[in-house]
């Protein structure tokens, strides 16, 4: 197993060979995205609306509602147990 590792990796003291010489480094050219990759106006309307003040307010309401729903879903068994206990106490004394 150790022999396979030594064959696949260069020795620590050996220089790494490169295809291009170091003295003639060219800057990396970044191509602009093609028209196919750029979102169309129809796809950007939701992100534009979401970044508007109305979209931000609706997102806050969504997060609040989702948190409330999650809280109720998690605590529902305990709430039902407490209401049943209160109902039994009410029936017993009335």
Is residue 74 within 8 Å of residue 68, measured between CB atoms? no
Max CA pair span of the chain: 96
Each residue's pLDDT tens digit, 38-78: 556 666 788 888 889 999 999 999 999 999 999 999 999 99
CA distance 92 to 8: 82
Alpha-helical segments (H) within the chain: 2-8, 41-51, 53-93
Beta-carbon contacts of 31 under 8 Å, excluding residues fewer than 6 positions away, are: none
The whole-number pLDDT of residue 66 equals 98
Q: Which of the four pLDDT bands, split at 50, 70 and 90, describes residue 28?
A: confident
pLDDT, position 91: 93
Q: What is the pTM of this model?
A: 0.44
Nearest to 20 by CA among 28, 10, 12: 28
Note every long-range contact of 43-49, with CB atoms under 8 Å and residues 24 or more positions apart, other chains counting.
none
Distance separating alpha carbons of residues 31 and 69, to the nearest angstrom: 47
């Amino acid at each position: 197993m150790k022999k396979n590792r030594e064959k696949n990796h260069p020795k620590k003291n050996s220089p790494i060979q490169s295809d291009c010489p170091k003295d003639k480094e060219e800057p990396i050219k970044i191509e602009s995205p093609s028209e196919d990759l750029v979102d169309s106006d129809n796809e950007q309307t939701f992100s534009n609306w979401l970044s508007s003040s109305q979209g931000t307010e609706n997102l806050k309401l969504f997060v609040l509602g989702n948190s409330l729903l999650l809280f109720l879903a998690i605590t529902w068994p305990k709430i039902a147990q407490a209401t049943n206990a209160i109902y039994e106490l009410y029936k017993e004394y009335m």
